[in-house]
Structure 1
Amino acid sequence: MFRLILDWFGVNKSIFRKLLLSYMVTVLLGLGALGLSMSVLAKNYIYDGTKEELLRKAKKVNLAIQTSQANPWNEDQTQSILAFLDQTFDTRIWVFDQSGHIIATSTRDEVFIGKSVAPQIVEQVMHGQNVVQNLAFAGLTKPMVSVVVPWGQKDKIFGGIVLHAPVEGIEETVGNMRVMILWATLLGILLSTAMVSYLSWTISRPLKRMDMVALEIEKGNYEQRIEVTSEDEIGDLARSMNRMAATLAHVEAERDELDKVRQDFIANVSHELRTPLTTMQGFLEALQDGLVQDGASRHKYYDVMYKETLHMSRLVDDLLELVRLTKHEFNLVKQPVNMEALLNRLAFTFTAEAEKRGLALRLALDLPLPAVLGDAGRIEQIFVNLLGNALKFTEHGYIELAAREEKGGVEVTVTDTGIGIAEADLAHVWDRFFKVDRVRSRSETGTGLGLAIVQELVGLHEGVITVQSKLGEGTVFTVWLPGNEEQT
């Protein structure tokens, strides 16, 4: 039933209403309990105060009776004193003897003379005790608050003195206080309602904003942000959602970039494979149709097709190599590498090819060179690729392989006087399938993956590779590899 009521008022569909209702119920219960408690406490306080006042008056009555009495009892004199005290204290007074019979009252027409007080009250009084609990006396037509004190002294008690005060005045005072408490409670409820409404709004507003932003993020709008206006948990949540949105935007941008790279990669691979396949298809159709008759021409056709198959094989091998490098599907076998020996061996290997092309290969080593911690085979692959590119794109001049110690490692430079790279293309030399203008180079062809592989290998060795080039003057590749820490 309670859940149906909440659904009827839409509480379960709005956090503002839910907060407002919960706060209001709490405030109403709290203020209601407070008002009721204050009412009860006020009533008890007034009644207790009245009883204390009656006790003080009763003791004064006892003292007045004892002081005025020349003998143990004088009814007329006592009657006069009681009448006077009745007018003074505005309180009805009875006096009863040791047996509990009322022997005097503050009003002459009192009908209670001769009647008896309850035995348990008489017993307490005769033992010198005051009786201050709520008392009931038969015959009283109006509600009264009554107290009873001993009449006499500690060593001699003659009976008891009863004082009555009408409840009407007390109840009126209590009623007035209850009205004041009620108005104060209502005012508190109004103020609390305003404060609770504002508090609920301040809490629900940023949450509503978060909900709107979350819906926008769900639609793919990652630029939405939440204004952070507090340092509490809600502010922390808003900051977390902003960070999440920024992260999602970054991830989305990376995904778009990866999709573009993937599309470019597929397009480049398709292009690189289509060209040799088209060439081979054309040559095979010519041979199949008998368009090539003499043996020399047929041999030339076969030679071209063979080179195209080699090109496709290199392309596939380079692709597989690059995939393994980028996915870290192999482990480098790192050990101290003697760079002097490795570079001397490479220079010796490439000297014959350089001379065949009419180029000079220079070796400039600033000895001694520290050992490098790395995979010797992979390090050699780096410089084989760089030297191969230098030979491929240098038509005249020289190629220099130089090395020196630098920043705790070895810096190796491969310099050529080749065709160079345009400034606009320098940023793309590490891209997959990037190739320099073939018109300005020899008829050499490559896969366009060599430098991408080189960059991955240098990175796996925690090294750095840079390139400087000027069109028509040459290119300089610089590789820095960290030294062997155990040796240093």
Structure 2
Amino acid sequence: MLGTSKSIFRRLLFSFLATVLVGLGISGLLISLFAREYIYDSKEEEMLRMAKKVNVAIQDYDKVNKRLVDQLVSLDQAFDTRIWLFDQDGKIVATSMKDEVFTGKSIAVSIADKVLKGKSAVTELQIEGLEDPMLSVAVPWGEGEEVYGGIILHAPIEGIEKTFGQMRETILWATLFGVLLSTAMVSYLSWSISRPLRTIERTAAEIGRGNYAERVHVDTSDEIGDVAQTINTMAEKLEKVEQERHHLEQVRNDFLANVSHELRTPLTAIQGFLEALQDGLVEEEEARQKYYAVMYSETMQVNRLVDDLMDLMKLENNEINLAKFPVDVGEVMGKVAFAFRAETEEKGIALHVELPDELPKIYADRDRVAQILKNFVKNAVKFTEQGEIRIRAEAEDAYVRIQVADTGIGISQEDVHRIWERFFKVDRGRSKNNKGTGLGLAIVKELVELHDGKWKVESELGEGSTFTVWLPTVASYRQTT
């Protein structure tokens, strides 16, 4: 990729320079051609005007004499150009120069014929005796329709060509300066493009190696900045995916470890008791019955774990269909309280049910609502050594709020957000005394979500806990449907 960036830099530099060179070259050539044509045209028009002025000045002379020659010399000095006169035979009869070396020489027949017919002519002449070609114009010499001959004004092309040479030299220097300036500008432009590309390349390489926390730092607001922002967004998503993957991996490992632990404890106890019975170490019938009771209890613990796991898997995979009907919350609360009455009395815990006079029915699955309450009350009984447990409900907006409050050991602030996780146990140090699968609250969370409800827990360590769920009423369900 780095080589590609360098290649982009070179391609940008060379392509821009080639464009500048070609552009300046074509512009210089066109300017030179148009300027040359413009100068020639302007010179020709100027010389034609001067030639016509010469004719006006000498049209009274139909023959060459001293006064005519003096007039030509005077006009030569005034117009700064050479003046020749030729007769109807096309021969030069007078010049504005003091030496008349060209007198008697003939003009080209084509020019002479054109001028004698009353027309003007423009041409470049290579005159014998002169090294440089001349730019010449010829107009008729005469008055009205009477033509005595022709008037030729000519100037050396050398001056015009010298002007062109200076112009070309100026264009060349301007082109050179433009190339240098363009090289600097294009180099900076190419660098400003390739530099962020190299930054993007390095960052992309780091992301490719798994460093998803890497970000592209490009301070441009163009398309390259958009690419950098897209890569940063992609890196953020990859980082979240990687964190989620690690989290899921940790959850999976914790799940396997917890399942293994929860299964190993009862299975180890069952195995030990069975080995003792098989080896005949327990002879008394009363002792054997105690062993059987313990093995039965441990077997039921394994069954509860398997049942809870199956319920949680079905809930998470949306494989459970709720049988929703109008449910009397007070009736369900009374049955749940009755189921735990004996256990609470055995521990010396007061169990209270608080209900208002009128409570709207909820639209829910009766058995699942009972399961939610049983999980709450079971945990309350498990973690409350003395005091009381209160089960209460009241209407709140479109919901019925159900609470189970206890005066138990409470939950620390570090653990309060984790109690809804699978296999998480608040009483980790006392789990041998208070057996449980650690799946109850995770199941409650899934069940409440299936009922379109809400949940909340409030707790202080050593003060007790209050678990609250909100389940929709029948009236609110009918309004939404």
Whichever residue aligns with residue 65 of structure 1, its letter is I
TM-score by length of 1: 0.84
Q: 1:282 aligns with which of 247, 272, 288?
A: 272
- Alignment of 1:408 onto 2:389: no
- Partners of 2:399 and 2:472 within 8 A in 1: yes
Equivalent of 1:429 in 411, 419, 427: 419
Closer, same or farther in 2 for the Cα pair 1:272/1:181, shift >3 Å?
Answer: same
Counterpart CA distance in 1 for 2:68 and 2:428 is: 140
Does residue 338 in structure 1 map to residue 330 in structure 2? Answer: no
What SS does structure 2 have at the residue aligned with 1:242? Answer: helix
TM-superposed deviation, 1:456: 2.5
CA distances 1:224-282 after superposition (whole Å, capped 9, x unpaired): 33333222222222233333333333333332222222222221111111111211222
The one of 99, 106, 109 aligned to 2:100: 109
* 3-state SS of paired residue (2:235): helix
1:471 offset after TM fit, Å? Answer: 4.7
Q: How has the CA–CA distance of structure 1 residues 80 and 485 changed in structure 2, closer, same or farther, with 3 Å as cutoff? A: farther
Q: Partners in 2 of 1:225 and 1:294 — Cα distance?
A: 74
Distance 1:138 1:373, change over 3 A: farther
Which deviations, in whole Å up to 9, do the C-alpha atoms of 1:376-421 show, x marking residues without a partner?
A: 5544432232233334444555432211122432211112344444
Given the two structures, how large is their TM-score scaled by the length of structure 2?
0.85
- Counterpart position of 1:33: 26
Given that residues 419 and 473 in structure 1 are in contact (C-alpha distance below 8 angstroms), is that contact kept between their aligned partners in structure 2?
yes
Measured after TM superposition, the shift of residue 167 of structure 1 is: 0.9
State the alpha-carbon separation in 1 of the partners of residues 48 and 157 from structure 2. Answer: 16
String of CA shifts for 1:147-170, please: whole Å, max 9, x gaps.
233334565555443222111111
SS of equivalent residue, structure 1 residue 452: helix
CA distance change for structure 1 residues 264 and 356 in 2, over 3 Å: closer, same or farther? closer
Q: In terms of mean alpha carbon deviation, does 357-366 or 263-272 score higher?
A: 357-366
Match of 2:50 among 38, 57, 60: 57
Taking the aligned partners of 1:250 and 1:387, their CA distance within structure 2 comes to: 37
Deviation at 1:77, TM superposition (A): 4.1
The reply on whether 1:455 has 2:445 as its aligned counterpart is: yes
Structure 1 residue 449, shift from structure 2 partner: 0.5
When residues 12 and 75 of structure 1 are mapped into structure 2, their CA distance, relative to the original with a 3 A threshold, is farther
Distance 1:277 1:13, change over 3 A: same
Q: Secondary structure at the match of 1:145?
A: strand
Q: Following superposition of structure 1 onto structure 2, how do residues 309-348 of structure 1 map, counting pairs within 5 Å?
A: 309-326=299-316, 328-330=317-319, 333=322, 337-339=325-327, 341-348=328-335
* Unaligned stretches of 5+ residues in structure 2: none
Match of 2:157 among 157, 164, 167: 167
**CA RMSD between the two structures:** 3.2
Contact 2:47 2:137 in 1 (8 A): yes
AA aligned to 1:464 is: K
Aligned partners of 1:277 and 1:294: how far apart in 2?
23
Partner letter of residue 458 of structure 1?
Answer: V
Q: Does 1:186 align with 2:176?
A: yes
The gaps in structure 1 that reach 5 residues or longer are: 1-9
The code of the aligned residue for 1:21 comes to F
Mapped pair 1:48 → 2:41: yes
Partner of 1:23: 16
Q: Post-superposition shift, 1:31?
A: 2.0
The one of 244, 255, 264 equivalent to 2:245 is 255
Amino acid at match of 1:313: N
Which contiguous aligned blocks of 4+ residues in structure 1 show a shift greater than 6 angstroms? 438-442
- Letter aligned with residue 384 of structure 1: K
Are residues 319 and 355 of structure 1, via their aligned partners in 2, closer, same or farther at CA, if it must alter by over 3 Å? closer
In 2, the alpha carbon distance for the partners of 1:256 and 1:275 equals 28
User: Which whole-Å CA distance do the structure 1 matches of 2:142 and 2:194 have between them?
Assistant: 73
Aligned residues: 471
CA contact (8 A) 2:380 2:406 kept: yes
Q: Which residue of 2 aligns with 1:200?
A: 190
Task: Name the amino acid aligned to 1:117.
Answer: A
Distance 1:65 1:440 in 2: 137
Aligned-pair CA distance for 1:478: 1.0
In structure 1, what is the equivalent of residue 141 of structure 2?
A: 151
Cα 1:154–1:399 change in 2 (3 A) is farther
Q: Which moved more, 1:386-395 or 1:229-238?
A: 386-395
